[in-house]
Amino acid sequence: MIKMIVSDMDGTLLDSNKQLPKDFVEVYQQIKEAGIQFVVASGRQYYTLVEEFAHLDHNMAFVAENGGFINWKGQTKVMQPMQSKHVKELIETARALGANIVLCGRNGAYVENVSSEAFKTELEKYYVKHQLVNDLLAVEDDLLKIAINDFSNIETVIYPQLKDRFGEVLQLSTSSPIWLDVMSLGVNKGKAIQLLHRELNIRPEETMAFGDYLNDLEMLQSVKHSYAMANAHPDIKAVARHIAKSNDENGVMLAIRECLAQKVL
């Protein structure tokens, strides 16, 4: 009996145009009527997720910032903020690599500059609440994540170098071919789902989860009914128990509808 359904956003629930499925409201209503907790789990900030689903009743739970910020049933949990010494070292290293840097805090996101239209477009997709600051090192907020953007070198240059330097003290995961997310060690979507399992008294075998990229790895490993999208990274397909159709083929909704039809939910 499924009691929780978890879905990533980009590359999973959203299509390539960043649009929700046309039948999402219909299927979501069926999920609610079945008494299922729907969870959105994303690398996006909480404020962006709330805006995306503003037309609904927000009975759903949100796992934002790759597990750093969790909101459910009127409650909020901020996972371990990053240590200031790690933030300073990471900012300085990413600056030297020429990457775009976004500090993701409890109260919003922070950037020093928006150097190109391409980066501005990317920033506004994921961080509706952000502000321009003179120096990222002077930001005072509980920092949940540092997002690093580069349009050509994330997986080939930036991730390997940062992994080599910070891999033993920070959690690093690519969330797309052009974004790398860095959190406190042990903070990830999987840990967030485990917290929700405890809070809502739901077991891993009562949970379905959908993902497509490496920041979904721990989340898929934390549930029994794990689905990789057809467009997913090969490493995600390797750990998932099922393959759903691609995000452009409405894969998440189709899989949920199939389970509803089989009365699995």
- C-alpha 148/C-alpha 159 separation (Å) is 9
Dmax (CA) of the chain = 56
Is residue 157 within 8 Å of residue 174, measured between CB atoms? no
* pLDDT > 70 in the chain, percent: 98
84-184: CATH class: alpha beta
Is pLDDT above 60 for 264? no
* Mean pLDDT of the 172-185 span: 95
pTM above 0.85, yes or no: yes
The answer on pLDDT for 226 being more than 50 is: yes
Q: Which CATH architecture has domain 4-78+187-261?
A: 3-Layer(aba) Sandwich (3.40)
Distance CA 153, CA 94 (A): 12
pLDDT digits (tens, 9 = 90+) for 89-134: 999 999 999 999 999 999 999 999 887 999 999 999 999 999 999 9
Alpha-carbon distance of 127 to 41, in angstroms, equals 15
Residue 16, pLDDT above cutoff 80: yes
In CATH terms, are 4-78+187-261 and 84-184 the same topology? no
Contact (Cβ atoms closer than 8 angstroms) between residue 53 and residue 13? no
pLDDT at residue 265 in the model: 47
Task: Determine what percent of the chain is predicted with pLDDT higher than 90.
Answer: 93
pLDDT number for residue 263: 64
pLDDT for the residue numbered 57: 75
| Sign, Cα dihedral of 88, 94, 98, 103 | negative
Q: Is the pLDDT of residue 215 over 70?
A: yes
Domain layout of the chain by residue ranges: 4-78+187-261, 84-184
Q: How far is CA 29 from the centre of its chain?
A: 23
Kindly write down the DSSP assignment for every residue of the chain, as one continuous string. ---EEEE-IIIIIS-TTS---TTHHHHHHHHHHTTPEEEEE-SS-HHHHHHHTTTS---SEEEEGGGTEEEETTEEEE--PPPHHHHHHHHHHHHHTT-EEEEEETTEEEES---SHHHHHHHHHH-SSEEE-S-GGG--S-EEEEEEE-SS-IIIIIHHHHHHHHTTTEEEEEEETTEEEEEETT-SHHHHHHHHHHHHT--GGGEEEEE-SGGGHHHHHTSSEEEEETTS-HHHHHH-SEEEPPGGGTHHHHHHHHHHHTT--
Of the candidates 139, 146, 138, 136, the one whose C-alpha atom is nearest the C-alpha of residue 171 is 146
Interval 227-255 mean pLDDT: 98
